[in-house]
Amino acid sequence: MQITWLGHSGFRIQIEDAILLIDPWLTGNPLFPAGREDEAVSGATHILLTHAHGDHASDAARLAGKLGIKVHCIHELSEWLNGQGCETVGFGKGGTLTLGGAKVTMVNAVHSASIDFGGKGLLPAGDAAGFMIAGEGHTIYVSGDTDIMADMAWMAEYHQPDIGILACGGHYTMDMARAAWAARKWFNFRWVIPCHYKTFGLLAQDASVLKAGLPPGIEVIEHEVLDPIRI
């Protein structure tokens, strides 16, 4: 398995026979290096979106067309993207897709979800979600944008993820301290990868608080954009 951070909440995950692009916001992403898009998306087989906000979904239709692949997301957002000429697979929370041998289950998140028309109005676009991605003997919990929620208790027990990709920059999502609290209370992670941080000044700029709040034995991985890690 190979996990590559694309900055903010974007990831490239190579698992089983799939190469998944999660929330691949590249255009206008302050952390994504110019001129390296082809490297980031080469060979991708599927796009997954946690929700409709521009810092997660604004490049999805363009990249799907460029790569000739489908976008997988909550039903209402999939319908809107389909209307823009994008091939989609819509599904809902509790639904599981098999993508290149990997099992992808949509799970709950607590966050808003809308399409912003450049200050000219907002269009509701379903709900925010996270994913459990299982394959190669591991399960990855992609939290999506969320705060702590009681659902994390059953999600941890049922799916038993050993890798947590947690949005924990604060302001729009849980912060580092809250993410650490949830991780040590409910989950049995071996590795935690923070995201939705560093991008803007109002977000946390490092994961020191997360690291301090987790028990020994959990490795917090702060890797650089486009520097893959192998698990």
Query: What are 48-105's pLDDT values in tens digits?
Result: 999 999 999 999 999 999 999 999 999 999 999 998 889 999 999 999 999 999 999 9
Please, which residues have CB within 8 angstroms of residue 79's CB and are 6 or more apart in sequence? Answer: 88, 90
In angstroms, how far is the first alpha carbon of the chain from the final one?
Answer: 5
CA atoms within 13 Å, Cβ hemisphere of 145: 25
Nearest CA among 18, 16, 20 for reference residue 40: 20
The structure tokens 């490092």 sit at: 206
Rounded Cα–Cα distance for residues 184 and 57 (Å):
30
Cβ atoms of 83 and 75 closer than 8 Å? no
Fill in the DSSP letter of residue 188: -
Tokens of residue 227, six digits: 């520097």
pLDDT attached to residue 116: 78
pLDDT at residue 115, as a whole number: 80
Superfamily of domain 2-223: Ribonuclease Z/Hydroxyacylglutathione hydrolase-like (3.60.15.10)
pLDDT digits (tens, 9 = 90+) for 140-184: 999 999 999 999 999 999 999 999 999 999 999 999 999 999 999
Q: 125: pLDDT confidence band, cut at 50, 70 and 90?
A: confident
Quote the tokens at residue 158. 């049922």
| Closest to 213 in 3D by CA, of 161, 168, 187, 178 | 178
List Cβ neighbours of 2 (8 Å cut-off, separation of 6 or more): 12, 13, 14, 228, 229, 230, 231
User: In the structure encoding, which two tokens stand for residue 49, read together?
Assistant: 């979106």
> Which DSSP helix (H) or strand (E) runs through 76?
helix 75-83
Name the phi and psi angles at 180, rounded to 5: -65, -40
